């Protein structure tokens, strides 16, 4: 009896133990299954979040992910072209400053070498034309017809580095892969950045300017407004247009003086800002910036009047009547542009370019000039005006009048005179 009871007890112990083990195993399996399910859900959520973030970034249009093949192609192309003109860069005068700035002649020499290799190449030299522009012109015209395609434009920077812009049109949107090639200290080409951005809007003008606006961060993401406007001249100016632009209008511009942004003629010279124009005419005549420190008490009467009369058909008496003159010291006032006498405008940064030249029967020449603005408004003709000049046999010239066409003066800021009496 005792043995039988012990046997029964032992059997019961084994049964209970087995049951407990079985329950523990089931709990363990259930726990492992729960962890796996949790990890799978977490992974799915992460993938979903990543996809949502990518979708948001594509919607924004900037800082887009660059395909690895696209990246390798951009880096290889940049370095290859930079190696092409290494000999010019190595021997160029780079000055003694830490930031290299090559002279225009060297930059244009580099451009010619890249041009001879068959690539579309532009520079940052004012009034310089893009070489091998034809493929870019065809690409943009086809884009306007809705045809897919891509084209690469190179640009020589003033430090000798290289910009590479690959424009890609998918039939609806245009994108650009921008790459910047730089020279290292040991004259080895390197890459400073590669970016992929959608163009918010773009147009190709009849005059040959490719105007576009890049997608950029906007408030409230950033505290300040960023300007994504860009202009690239594709179709070339004629050699004569470039020469006249450089000679007659570049030195004046549209800020600090009103020779090009007001209506006037030899019968109406009183509206011009003579105190403002002096420094610009000084720069045109002497090829250097006007240094006001040389004139602490104003600009001497004879020097001021002789320079103005060289460029305008005006008498010394008229200048004294129209300009702000210090009778006591016999000097003309001059002050630099600042926040108290000038409110910066996008129009003021525009570059004047001559688009047409007409010789008149009386021996004068009428230059049709357009203001090209690459900031915010991104316009290749903010105003169009006709500037009349007379050239002398010795190469000098005088301005005789300016007329802003098509009521353009109504669409630009009122001129601010630098000095008020």
Domain total of the chain: 2
Q: What one-character DSSP code corresponds to residue 408?
A: G
The tens digit of pLDDT for each residue in 81-137 reads 999 999 999 999 987 777 899 999 999 999 999 999 999 999 999 999 999 999 999
User: Structure pTM?
Assistant: 0.85
Given 170, 202, 236, the domain boundary residue is: 236
194 and 245 part of one domain: no
Average pLDDT score over residue span 255-266: 97
Residue 267 has pLDDT above 70, yes or no: yes
With tokens 């930059």, the residue in question is: 107
The tens digit of pLDDT for each residue in 288-328 reads 999 999 999 999 999 999 999 999 999 999 999 999 999 99
122 and 218 part of one domain: yes
Q: How far is CA 75 from CA 26, 179, 317, in A?
A: 58, 8, 64
Q: How far is CA 368 from CA 224, 254, 356, in A?
A: 37, 15, 5
Predicted confidence at residue 6, as pLDDT, reads 36
Q: What confidence tier does 43 reach under pLDDT thresholds 50, 70, 90? A: low
Q: What confidence tier does 339 reach under pLDDT thresholds 50, 70, 90? A: confident
Structural domain includes residue 38 = no
C-alpha span between 283 and 305 (Å, rounded): 15
Predicted confidence at residue 272, as pLDDT, reads 97
Least confident of 165-174, 250-259, 325-334, 338-347: 338-347
Q: What one-character DSSP code corresponds to residue 266?
A: T
229 and 288 part of one domain: no
262 and 226 part of one domain: no
Answer with the residue of higher pLDDT: 33 or 167.
Answer: 167
Structural domain includes residue 298 = yes
Average pLDDT score over residue span 222-250: 95
Given 180, 201, 236, the domain boundary residue is: 236
**Could you write out the DSSP letters of every residue in 201-230?**
EEEE-TTSEEEEEE----TTSSSSPPP-EE
- The strands making up 325-326's β-sheet, listed across from edge to edge, are 299-300, 331-332, 325-326
328 and 179 part of one domain: no
173 and 80 part of one domain: yes
Other Cβ atoms within 10 Å of 320 Cβ, number: 17
Structural domain includes residue 63 = no
Structural domain includes residue 22 = no
Given 172, 202, 236, the domain boundary residue is: 236
Q: In terms of Cα–Cα distance, which of 357, 359, 355 is closest to 371? A: 355
Average pLDDT score over residue span 330-356: 92
Least confident of 54-58, 73-77, 145-149, 355-359: 54-58
With tokens 């244009």, the residue in question is: 108
With tokens 């009547």, the residue in question is: 321
Structural domain includes residue 136 = yes
Residue 370 has pLDDT above 60, yes or no: yes
304 and 192 part of one domain: no
Mean pLDDT of all residues in the chain? 90
211 and 270 part of one domain: no
Answer with the residue of higher pLDDT: 352 or 54.
Answer: 352
274 and 382 part of one domain: yes
Residue 343 has pLDDT above 80, yes or no: yes
Residue 171 has pLDDT above 70, yes or no: yes
C-alpha span between 199 and 61 (Å, rounded): 8
222 and 252 part of one domain: no
Residue 276 has pLDDT above 70, yes or no: yes
203 and 269 part of one domain: no
Average pLDDT score over residue span 340-363: 94
Average pLDDT score over residue span 253-265: 97
With tokens 């949790």, the residue in question is: 38
State the DSSP H helix or E strand holding residue 317, giving kind and residue range, or none if neither: helix 316-322
Q: In terms of Cα–Cα distance, which of 417, 360, 416, 407 is closest to 387? A: 360
Task: Check the CA dihedral 218-222-227-230 and report its sign.
Answer: negative
Predicted confidence at residue 192, as pLDDT, reads 97
Least confident of 6-20, 201-215, 338-352, 358-372: 6-20
216 and 315 part of one domain: no
Structural domain includes residue 5 = no
Predicted confidence at residue 5, as pLDDT, reads 37
C-alpha span between 113 and 17 (Å, rounded): 90
Q: What confidence tier does 37 reach under pLDDT thresholds 50, 70, 90? A: low
Percent of the chain with pLDDT over 90: 77
Residue 273 has pLDDT above 90, yes or no: yes
Structural domain includes residue 23 = no
Q: What confidence tier does 56 reach under pLDDT thresholds 50, 70, 90? A: confident
Predicted confidence at residue 55, as pLDDT, reads 81
Domain that holds residue 260: 241-411
Average pLDDT score over residue span 356-368: 98
Structural domain includes residue 24 = no
CA angle 212, 215, 219 (to 5 degrees): 130
Residue 353 has pLDDT above 50, yes or no: yes
């Amino acid at each position: 009896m005792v043995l039988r009871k012990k046997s029964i007890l032992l059997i019961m112990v084994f049964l209970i133990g087995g049951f407990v083990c079985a329950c523990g195993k089931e709990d363990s399996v259930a726990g492992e299954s729960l962890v796996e399910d949790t990890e799978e859900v977490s992974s799915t959520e992460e993938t979903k979040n990543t996809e949502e973030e990518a979708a948001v970034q594509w919607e924004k249009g900037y800082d887009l992910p660059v395909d690895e093949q696209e990246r390798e192609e951009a880096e290889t192309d940049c370095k290859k072209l930079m190696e092409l003109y290494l000999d010019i860069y190595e021997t160029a005068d780079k000055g003694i400053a830490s930031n290299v700035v090559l002279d225009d002649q060297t930059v244009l020499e580099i451009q010619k070498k890249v041009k001879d290799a068959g690539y579309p190449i532009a520079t940052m030299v004012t009034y310089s034309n893009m070489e091998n522009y034809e493929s870019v012109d065809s690409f943009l015209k086809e884009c306007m017809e809705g045809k897919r395609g891509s084209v690469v434009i190179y640009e020589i920077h003033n430090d000798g580095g290289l910009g590479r812009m690959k424009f890609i049109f998918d039939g609806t949107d245009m994108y650009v892969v921008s790459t910047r090639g730089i020279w290292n200290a040991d004259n080895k080409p390197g890459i400073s950045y590669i970016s992929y951005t959608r163009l918010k809007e773009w147009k190709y003008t009849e005059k040959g300017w490719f105007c576009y606006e890049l997608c950029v961060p906007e408030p409230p993401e950033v505290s300040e407004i960023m300007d994504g406007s860009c202009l690239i001249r594709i179709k070339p100016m004629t050699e004569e247009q470039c020469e006249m632009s450089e000679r007659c209008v570049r030195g004046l511009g549209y800020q600090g003086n009103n020779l090009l942004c007001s209506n006037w003629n030899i019968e109406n010279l009183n509206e011009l800002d003579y105190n403002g124009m002096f420094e610009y005419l000084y720069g045109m005549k002497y090829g250097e910036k006007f240094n006001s420190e040389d004139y602490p008490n104003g600009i001497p009467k004879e020097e001021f009047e002789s320079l103005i009369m060289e460029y305008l058909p005006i008498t010394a008496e008229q200048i004294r009547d129209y300009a702000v003159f210090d009778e006591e010291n016999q000097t003309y006032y001059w002050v630099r542009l600042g926040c108290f006498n000038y409110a910066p405008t996008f129009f003021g940064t525009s570059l004047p370019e001559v688009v047409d030249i007409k010789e008149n029967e009386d021996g004068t020449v009428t230059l049709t000039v357009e203001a090209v603005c690459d900031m915010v408004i991104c316009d290749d003709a903010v105003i169009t005006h006709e500037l009349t000049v007379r050239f002398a046999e010795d190469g000098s010239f005088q301005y005789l009048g300016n007329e802003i066409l098509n009521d353009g003066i109504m669409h630009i800021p009122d001129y601010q005179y630098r000095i008020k009496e």
